[in-house]
Amino acid sequence: MRRLLLTGGMLLWSLVTVLAQGFPLQHRRVPAYDFASFKENRISGESEDFELFLRKLDSLVTTGKGDVRILHVGGSHVQGGSWTGRLRENLLGLRYGLDGGRGLVFPYAVAGTNTPSTYRSYGTGTWEASKCLHPDCVLGATGMAITTSDSTATATVDMMIDGRIRWTPAFCFNRVTVLGYGSLEPVIIMGRDTLRGREQAGRWAFELPHYTDYARVGFRGYPGRYTLKGMYLDRTDGGLTVSEAGVNGATTSAWLRCDDFVEDLKLVMPDLVILSIGINDIQGADFSDTRFIQNYKEIIRRIRKVNPHCAILLTTINDSWKRGNPNRYTESAVAAARKVASETGAVLWDLYEIMGGHGSMEGWAASGLAASDRVHFNASGYGLLGNLMFNALMDRIER
């Protein structure tokens, strides 16, 4: 039996955490719905790698020392940031001072798409965007890229939204790694200062003179060209980092088109990867469970090429509707995901079963938890998913 230690010194940390962040240390309260099956909210399967991850997380929460990294990969469910954001918020609430940095980020707005809800992005100059659905350049772990030949171009990610910090902690950082390639040299612009980095294994690393809440990338060495695949925002003192990599519309096939996925993942070096891909695989008329299984296994193989002991948490797709009826491929995709988990040693969070199974999305929509398309959730629904996943993780730690 393993449990988070909530006695002695941890009782003091409980009070500090609740006062400082307002998050309870244990399970988040979730409402009951007739259409849902929250009694099925569990992480199933046995995995030595997942047990190793749980021990590392337990140790970090108990002692405040260590470095634990989680990456959530998917489509629009993940790009929006609300699902991962709630999970991140709950995990960081386990102990005051766990923040290990914001991790992997991308200036989505510069690519003309939505930025995750927990930060903002913007840019100047002229950029060309590419994403893994139909890539026209080499992509990596974010599944997206922006390219410029513009001498004035900048791309910024900012932890402040509407001029204020909305999140606790504020995700300040003092290290930035720029992922990309080209003849231009990326620099970090901080006010009137321009910082040059060190090139390491095809990426540029910057040690900042102080902690900050934004990173603005510019360039030197014109003329030239540069493709930016993302940034990694880090702290020198370790902690818990929860990153998301989501691309609207991305399928399992699309993620396999990211040729630099493995190289970029070496920087992230996750202890746990949560894979929530598949809702877009069933939107066409040619879904193949055989292809779906092969694709998922290849994605997992690539992750384990970077970290052979990385824990894999596979989530089944949600119930969704198409042309006024439940999507006919949903149950095939759910069965395929369960098969992948059992054959690869991944653990499984069965979202389809938890939300109520066939036709249950109608209940989620009627209760104000899903979008009108009956495919996506809304902010409240994604927040509920984050709470449910967090509770399932806590159950496994306390088992």
Q: Per residue in 30-64, pLDDT tens? A: 999 999 999 999 999 999 999 999 999 999 999 99
Length of the chain: 399
Tell me how far apart the alpha carbons of residues 198 and 100 are, in angstroms, rounded to a whole number. Answer: 22
Q: Indicate the pLDDT class of residue 236, thresholds 50, 70 and 90.
A: confident
Tell me how far apart the alpha carbons of residues 281 and 271 are, in angstroms, rounded to a whole number. Answer: 26
Closest among 101, 43, 104, 52 to 78, alpha carbons compared: 104
Does 72 have pLDDT greater than 80? yes
Does 292 have pLDDT greater than 80? yes
The values of phi and psi at residue 219, to 5°, are -145, 160
Q: Indicate the pLDDT class of residue 238, thresholds 50, 70 and 90.
A: confident
Closest among 255, 253, 276 to 388, alpha carbons compared: 276
- Tokens found for residue 112: 């003309």
Residue 24 has a pLDDT of: 40
Tell me how far apart the alpha carbons of residues 172 and 369 are, in angstroms, rounded to a whole number. Answer: 31
Residue 160 has a pLDDT of: 84
CA 37 to chain centre: 25
Mapped onto helix, strand or coil, the DSSP state of residue 63 is helix
CA 70 to chain centre: 7
Does 302 have pLDDT greater than 70? yes
Q: What is the pTM of this model?
A: 0.92
Q: Determine the angle formed by the axes of helices 261-268 and 289-306, rounding to 10 degrees.
A: 50
Tell me how far apart the alpha carbons of residues 369 and 322 are, in angstroms, rounded to a whole number. Answer: 18
Tell me how far apart the alpha carbons of residues 396 and 169 are, in angstroms, rounded to a whole number. Answer: 26
Q: What percentage of the chain exceeds 90 in pLDDT?
A: 85
Q: What is the mean pLDDT of the chain?
A: 91
By mean pLDDT, which of 51-55, 95-99, 275-279, 364-368 is the weakest? 95-99
133-183 confidence digits (pLDDT tens): 999 999 999 999 999 999 899 999 999 876 555 556 778 999 999 999 999
Contact of 122 with 88, CB cutoff 8 Å: no
Residue 200 has a pLDDT of: 86
CB neighbour burial string for 345-371, b if at least 16 within 10 angstroms, e if fewer:
bbbbbbbbbbbbbeebbebbbebebbe
Tell me how far apart the alpha carbons of residues 181 and 194 are, in angstroms, rounded to a whole number. Answer: 19
Q: Backbone dihedral region of 345: left (phi > 0), alpha (psi from -120 to 50 degrees) or beta?
A: left
Please report, for residues 36, 37, 252, 266, 269, the alpha-carbon distance to residue 40 in angstroms, rounded to integers and kept in the order given.
9, 6, 26, 35, 31
Residue 256 has a pLDDT of: 98
Enclosing H/E stretch for 365: helix 361-366
Query: DSSP assignment, residue 370?
Result: B
Contact of 363 with 34, CB cutoff 8 Å: yes
